[in-house]
Structure 1
């Protein structure tokens, strides 16, 4: 079987996840992508290679002979790439910082960068923007070394974190919404409203921003799914729904046509810098220490 030259690492990563899970839904959850998107990508890979890699029927998913043949080579390629990326990062003293939105919050990010680079002048910092579909902002798949994320994290036992900010959750509404005239709202006032929701791949974080855990048995009507700040703003302006937002993020969406209001009955949000448990590299520890020190200095 001849592999085409334009097969990407992502394709092999998707193939490997399905091959190891033998279940598209579990593989999608592991990769933080939707199941339809994963199935579509795997079928595209099969078309590229001109072979069927998986046998799908009512009994489940199984590797075909071609899939079995490809499996060890896919593992070898991905392992070699991971080793190469690690070697390069070590050689260049690079630290990759993942995030879904800029932390903002009184200039936190540049202040952390300044303190970190003063202590590690030879280190290179790379900031990687990640869709809200991955609540770990790159930590889960190793694309980031540290990441600014919201709690709760899926598979929380895999990570360690330091709290960056604990902030009230406000409700964001189109400025013409009937509830926008009130200075403060009860969460019960929002019971019949459509909500903007994170992608399902965000797992417990989707439920958290819908406040499902704090209001057991509540049903929610989802007006639209959003995976980034711009999508959120556009959906709010279009009247597709309302959403909860951390106080520190209100400047990102409180533009023309959108207002935020305090809401009683929901707990504060926690924004953290997280890293993989057991990762004791000096740059990871140094960035966490810089972040903790800056948080104390800016209150």
Structure 2
């Protein structure tokens, strides 16, 4: 789009021409006023087309002449005609206004498209609740769910513009990836362990973290889409004699995941809202209460009214349900603590 400051210097037609203004910018509104007068060659008709008073239109044209330092019209009591500089300005004004209209149309189209929201997995509650509330706050917007398994799996789609937002542990992403993204903390989500019904710890109402000593706990190892979750597990288990279980066959869908976990009989690190699974029991972890810092994550520069509703929904639910209150005995990795402090 040509810059309004790049319009050519229009030489005065006579020594009586207005002195150039110090302004380096031309208001597109003034160009539009000029163009309508240039097309109508009649101030009264042009003012009617622009829905402004004739005196206001005359002031705008005089202001444009002052800013450009030229006379654009020859005015007599009987007619209005363009000067040579006025004729030279016409194609520039049309191009500038045309480019402005194209820009506005392009962004209107962008804002009208669906907002693509990654919920990681259909069974996870946090993102789903935020999405449902955002749809209530902005019913005129289309917010569409996507499922990319984990935040690490979603970032490529985020940066490429094929996905708008996702949920997950922002601190678990590589620094180079984080540089192009932004985030908003949504919830300190308590973690839990999914145990086979016959496991000795299944009889407990809550499972102390240290009670898992000697166990190998599945935390998505080998799944590149959930590496931020595997990293969280390694930090939680460090120094506790708890191993991250070796990679299991990649299971796609709830049914396959349930089948593979039932066959291996391995405890699974999950969050407290993880959906029920046949043949297994969910037990909250305590002493300490490990927390997953779940953020809403988006690519920098994202603008969309549905995105605004999503952020408002996260704040609203977080306040109502205490999602941002950390238990006294809560635990999150030091890198998460540091990153969240810098985000404030």
TM-score (norm 1): 0.58
Question: What is the CA RMSD across the aligned residues, in angstroms?
Answer: 3.1
Tell whether the 8 Å contact from 1:89 to 1:95 is kept in structure 2 after alignment.
no
The partner residue of 2:114 within 94, 97, 104 is 94
Structure 1 residue runs of 5 or longer lacking an equivalent are 1-85
Distance in 2 (CA, whole Å) between partners of 1:131 and 1:147 is 10
Q: 1:225 to 1:247 in 2, by over 3 A?
A: farther
- Are 2:153 and 1:129 equivalent residues in the alignment? no
Q: 1:116 to 1:292 in 2, by over 3 A?
A: farther
Count of residues paired in the alignment: 205
- Are 2:113 and 1:104 equivalent residues in the alignment? no
Residue 180 of structure 1 deviates from its aligned partner by: 1.1
Residue 215 of structure 1 deviates from its aligned partner by: 3.8
Distance in 1 (CA, whole Å) between partners of 2:181 and 2:302 is 9
Distance in 1 (CA, whole Å) between partners of 2:317 and 2:289 is 28
Residue 227 of structure 1 deviates from its aligned partner by: 5.5
Q: After superposition, where does 1:72-83 map in structure 2 within 5 Å?
A: none
- Are 2:262 and 1:241 equivalent residues in the alignment? no
Residue 135 of structure 1 deviates from its aligned partner by: 5.2
Distance in 2 (CA, whole Å) between partners of 1:227 and 1:184 is 28
- Are 2:294 and 1:276 equivalent residues in the alignment? no
1:40 alignment partner in structure 2? none
Residue 109 of structure 1 aligns to a residue whose secondary structure is helix
Residue 134 of structure 1 deviates from its aligned partner by: 0.8
Instruction: Name the stretch that deviates more: 230-239 or 160-169.
Output: 230-239
2:246 alignment partner in structure 1? 222
1:161 alignment partner in structure 2? 183
Tell whether the 8 Å contact from 2:258 to 2:278 is kept in structure 1 after alignment.
no
Structure 2 residue runs of 5 or longer lacking an equivalent are 1-105, 323-344
Q: After superposition, where does 1:147-296 map in structure 2 within 5 Å?
A: 147-154=166-173, 155-198=177-220, 199-201=222-224, 202-208=226-232, 211-216=233-238, 219-222=243-246, 224=248, 230=254, 231-249=256-274, 252=275, 254-263=276-285, 264-265=287-288, 267-296=290-319
Q: 1:89 to 1:238 in 2, by over 3 A?
A: farther
Residue 301 of structure 2 aligns to a residue whose secondary structure is coil
The higher radius of gyration belongs to 2
Deviation readout 1:239-291 (Å, 9 max, x if unpaired): 44111111122xx1x23211012223452112222111232444433432233
Residue 97 of structure 1 deviates from its aligned partner by: 0.9
Distance in 2 (CA, whole Å) between partners of 1:135 and 1:243 is 22
Q: Which has the higher strand share?
A: 1
Distance in 1 (CA, whole Å) between partners of 2:247 and 2:166 is 29
Distance in 2 (CA, whole Å) between partners of 1:240 and 1:87 is 52
Tell whether the 8 Å contact from 1:116 to 1:286 is kept in structure 2 after alignment.
yes
Residue 168 of structure 1 aligns to a residue whose secondary structure is strand
Distance in 1 (CA, whole Å) between partners of 2:156 and 2:308 is 18
Tell whether the 8 Å contact from 1:138 to 1:144 is kept in structure 2 after alignment.
yes
Distance in 1 (CA, whole Å) between partners of 2:110 and 2:235 is 41
Residue 138 of structure 1 deviates from its aligned partner by: 3.6
Distance in 2 (CA, whole Å) between partners of 1:246 and 1:268 is 8
Q: 1:227 to 1:207 in 2, by over 3 A?
A: farther
Distance in 2 (CA, whole Å) between partners of 1:137 and 1:232 is 24
Tell whether the 8 Å contact from 2:218 to 2:266 is kept in structure 1 after alignment.
yes
